[in-house]
Amino acid sequence: MKKKILKIIGVVVLLIVVLLIAAPFFLQGKIEGIIKSKVNNNIEATLDFASADLSLFSSFPNAKVTINDLVLINKAPFAGDTLFASKEIALDMAITELFKDPSEAIGVKSLAVDGAKLTIMVNKDSIANYDIAKKDPNAPVETAAAEEEGSSFNLAMESYKITNSSIVYVDQTSGMALALTDLQHSGTGDLSLEKSELDTKTTALVSFGMGGTNYLNRNSVGLDALIGIDLKESKFSFLKNEALINKLPLVFDGFVKLNDDNQEVHINFKTLSSEFKNFLALVPEEYSKSIDNVKTTGKFTVEGKLDGIVDETHIPKFSVKLNSDNASFKYPDLPKSVTNIFINAGIDNTTGLVEDTTVDIKKLAFAIDQDQFSLTSKITDLMGNTKVKAHLTGKMNLANISKAYPVPADLNLKGLLNADVSTSFDMASIEKEQYQNTATSGTLNLKDFEYNSDELKNPVQITTTSLTFNPKTVSLNEFQGKTGKTDFSAKGTITNLLGFMFKDEKVKGDFALNSNTFALNDFMVDEVETESTSTEKTESKPVAAEEKLKIPSFLDATITANANTVLYDNLTLKDVKGTLRIKDETATLSDMTTALFGGKMSFNGEVSTKNEAATFAMNLGMNQFNIGQALKGLEMLEVLAPIAKIVRGNLNSDISIAGNLKDDFTPDLATISGKVLAELLSTELNPKEEKFMSAIGDKLSFLKPEKLNLNGLKTALSFDNGKVSVKPFKLNYGDVVMNVSGSHTFDSKLAYNATVEVPAKYLGGDINKLIAKIDDKQLENLTIPVTANIGGNFTSPEVKTDLTSGVKNLTSQLVEIEKQKLIAKGKDKATSVISDLLNKNKSKTDSLTAKDDKASVVKDVVGGLFGKKDTTAVKQDSTAKTKKEEQKDAAKAILGGLFGKKKKETEKDTTK
């Protein structure tokens, strides 16, 4: 019998084990379906997760459901935004809960959430992204009891915890943002009872901002609270509670009660101790450093209360008082103490309306050595149209601040400050730039101050600054300083100092700037070093920092500038004057003039560093520039006009140019485009740079470089995409005219055409004799055009000449001249001349038609000039040279005279 019982027990245990192992495989799909079905059918959002795992062992006799990688995505008007996400959600429940119908509520005993991110947002239309419950317009309004009966889950938890999570709340209607990060929270208690106690522990980093101002920045907060829960009254009482803000301990008591249409809040709090170290504990540790060993004297107290209701239009009324009387503190590793600290301030709201919040600083004062500083201020309508009244007075050696308080090392405060300023303004007037509604008066003087910024290469040392505050403007009476090689002094007016200080506006004003030496390189910025990364385990190597010139982004000003010397790259500009308009990282130059390269230059245009690549667009006027100096100082001029290297003298030019600037603020030649109009004055050839002209002279011997006349030469060119196109211009070599046009590239590859008008006298003796036979004064100025194609590059040019066009042109000129002469002499005279010409080269037995006569005349003239053969008019003479040989010699003589080649002496005629 016993054996049977043992067998039965063994079989039952085995079945239970098998069931515990097999059940998850059968129920897992059902669980996923239940969760997704229950949630998605009741919300205007989409819930999804990677998997829902079921375990019957880890929490036996309960079942454990683990949901992995859950996301809850909003629909319109927040379509695509993630309302909630988590890495893991684990729920413990009775095994019997797994077998319930999807329409039945499921009881959960414990909940664990890890890696959760909850983002709550209220848009400008006051629509909240968490309002995702489906609404049936025909359904009756449900009571709280009805909602609880229809809930998919029962609030019967015994414990819960939230780890490694964050909660972000953004309200666009009020400009408020609250963030809890690195949130660790847990609670234990039997929440299934009508009345119970929940023991909670919470730590988090809190950030809070409103209206563009950050009041808390990752401040550490801790809370240990024993909360009494009355579910029937929906009341939560704080029974035994202690909070820690940074290292400031607070105790508090009171309750929060949830009503149908509002919440009641009644909470009192105060500091546990009254040491002044409690005040330092309010400052984030990244600014105050460790305060464990700081020595303090005096007291500091915080006391406050919240009392009222919370609904759509109200917050609890509250009052917070901060007080300290004649306190001091000293950091152990710093030489000086901060003494005579007085704090009497309060934050109050007596109406429960957000905009009626008031900050009243009745006294805030401290001293370092003999320097004293004090402030009184009252800020009303803090969350509405903020109104400020304040008075600041004191003298302070700024260097003492870093000797008494651990300011950031790179701040490097220096200077003597003396201020006595009163102000009264409201934020609405500042936002609308209605500065006439503000009132500021007093003076501020600063001497030997040093300012450093990421937008500046070198620290700016301000020798003297004197400001006078007027109701509408601030007068800059004196401003002297230097940075690097640059010195400056300025006077002017600032029209929006309050906007710059409180609304992050740019400094607006008009200034007169004077400088003895102004070096643009002093305003180059070192870019932040970055490290190269690799998937392999290699040492990261820093990328070398680059320098870039940045136009300050905080300026919106007009500057009348006057500088004796401006250093720009390798240029030295003298007597620089003009107007500079700076706005949006763009400098617009108007009526700027300077002495440069022995002449004067004027320029108008703009330079911008707003985009990644700096850009410029400029009109330059050059007057009496020394060409040699200009070529050494301006790479761009040599690229645009390399021919300028062969001349010495002066230059006038107008240049319109635009493109990108390199990091050193010199033009990026690959990007520039524009136009140039240039004129040469009092010029001569540079004997060291005559290779270009010699190449042409080798081909055309009558072109003598020493006869080149460049005075008054004017030319126009345009350039784009690395190519310079030159409009036709004339060069004069004594009485020889050369017409030039073409283009070259920025790397000096030439593609030019030069047409040389060659006078007849340079064509040799034979051609002149032939022309003399026509006996016409028109031929005294007769020229032949010779085309030269110039290629290669400027240092090694390649010149090719073409006679074809010249021969055609000369032929047509001679024929036309002779034709006109024949017409003038009459038909008979023409016949006689033609007959004589024909009889010179034809036998007595030859006969020609009238049409043949005319053709023969043209051929004979051209043949006599260029040695061409006429097969109808050649007669052999056995006792003399053949006609073919005579023509060949004539052609050689003509071409020899044209290109400077030595003529062969004619052979002696031994048969004459």
Cα–Cα distance, 724 to 673 (Å, whole number):
9
Both 700 and 841 in one domain: the answer is: no
Sequence letter at residue 259: N
Shared-domain flag, residues 554 and 661: yes
Query: What's the number of domains the chain is made of?
Result: 2
Say if CB 347 and CB 359 are below 8 A apart.
yes
- Element of type H or E holding 10: helix 2-40
Instruction: Kindly state whether residue 699 falls inside one of the protein's structural domains.
Output: yes
Are 735 and 844 part of one and the same domain?
Answer: no
886: tokens are: 């005579």
> Are 573 and 671 within one domain?
yes
Q: Is residue 51 part of a domain?
A: no
Q: What is the pTM of this model?
A: 0.58
Q: How many CA atoms lie within 13 A of 302 on its CB side?
A: 21
pLDDT in tens, 331-344: 999 999 999 999 99
pLDDT band at 757 (very low <50, low <70, confident <90, very high): confident
**pLDDT, position 855:** 42
Same domain for 848 and 727, yes or no, is no
For 125-152, b where at least 16 C-beta lie within 10 A, e where not — what string? eeeebbebeeeeeeeeeeeeeeeeeeeb
Residues 674 and 572 in one domain: yes
Q: What is the mean pLDDT of residues 63-86?
A: 88
Q: What pLDDT, in 10s, does the model give residues 208-263?
A: 887 666 777 788 889 999 999 898 888 999 988 888 887 788 898 999 998 888 88
Contact 718, 707 (CB under 8 A): no
pLDDT, mean of residues 367-389? 90
The pLDDT confidence band at residue 23, using thresholds 50, 70 and 90, is very low
Spatial separation of the C-alpha atoms in residues 364 and 278, rounded to whole Å = 17
Q: Is residue 165 part of a domain?
A: no
- The CA–CA distances, whole Å, from 143 to 134, 140, 231, 525, 671 equal 16, 9, 15, 66, 73
Question: Does residue 731 share a domain with residue 831?
Answer: no
Residue 706 has what pLDDT? 62
Check pLDDT > 90 for residue 848: no
User: pLDDT class for 445, splitting at 50, 70, 90?
Assistant: very high
Q: Which two tokens stand for residue 898?
A: 């044209």
Indicate whether 567 and 688 sit together in one domain: yes
Q: Which residue has the tokens 């008075």?
A: 391
Task: Give the least confident one: 370-374, 820-824, 857-861.
Answer: 857-861
Q: What is the dihedral of CA 595, 601, 602, 603, to 10 degrees?
A: -110
Residue 846 binned pLDDT confidence (cut-offs 50, 70, 90): very low
* Assigned domain for 406 exists: no
Q: Are residues 559 and 655 in the same domain?
A: yes
Tell me: the pLDDT tens digits for 181-207?
Answer: 999 999 998 877 888 899 999 999 998
Q: Would you put residue 141 in left (φ > 0), alpha (ψ -120 to 50) or beta?
A: beta
Q: Are 547 and 457 in contact (CB under 8 A)?
A: yes
Domain boundary among 703, 723, 749: 749
Q: Look at residue 318 and tell me if it is in a domain.
A: no
Average pLDDT, the chain: 75
On whether residue 685 sits in a domain, the answer given is: yes
Pairing of strands 586-596, 599-608: antiparallel
The pLDDT score that the predictor gives to residue 789 is 83
Q: What are phi and psi of 848, to 5 degrees?
A: -130, 150
Classify residue 448: in a domain, yes or no: no
Considering only CA atoms, which of 203, 110, 233, 217 is closest in space to residue 160?
A: 110
Each as own residue / partner, the long-range contacts of residues 465-469 (CB below 8 Å, 24 or more positions apart, any chain) are 467/443, 468/442, 468/443, 469/421, 469/423, 469/440, 469/441, 469/442, 469/443, 469/444, 469/497
**Are residues 575 and 722 located together in one domain of the fold?**
yes
Structural domain span for residue 867: 827-899
In angstroms, the CA 244 to CA 273 distance is 13
- Please check the confidence at residue 530 and state whether its pLDDT lies above 50: no
Higher pLDDT, 98 or 538: 98
pLDDT at 584: 85
Greater confidence (390 vs 784) lies with: 390
- Integer Cα distance of 409 and 398 in angstroms: 14
Instruction: List the single range of 199-208, 867-876, 879-888 with lowest mean pLDDT.
Output: 867-876
Same domain for 839 and 696: no
Instruction: Tell me whether residue 871 is exposed, middle or buried, using C-beta atoms within 10 angstroms of its C-beta: 0 to 12, 13 to 18, 19 or more.
Output: exposed
Question: What confidence tier does 166 reach under pLDDT thresholds 50, 70, 90?
Answer: very high
Q: Between these two residues, 726 and 848, which has the higher pLDDT value?
A: 726
Q: Which residue, 749, 783, 813, sits at the end of a domain?
A: 749
Can you tell me the distance from the alpha carbon of 905 to that of 424, in angstroms, rounded to the nearest whole number?
108
Structural domain includes residue 170: no
In this structure, the answer to whether residues 556 and 666 fall within a common structural domain is yes
Pick the last residue of a domain from 733, 749, 765. 749
Say if residue 409's pLDDT is above 80.
Answer: no
Dihedral pair phi/psi, residue 156, rounded to 5° = -125, 30
Q: Are 880 and 889 in contact (CB under 8 A)?
A: no
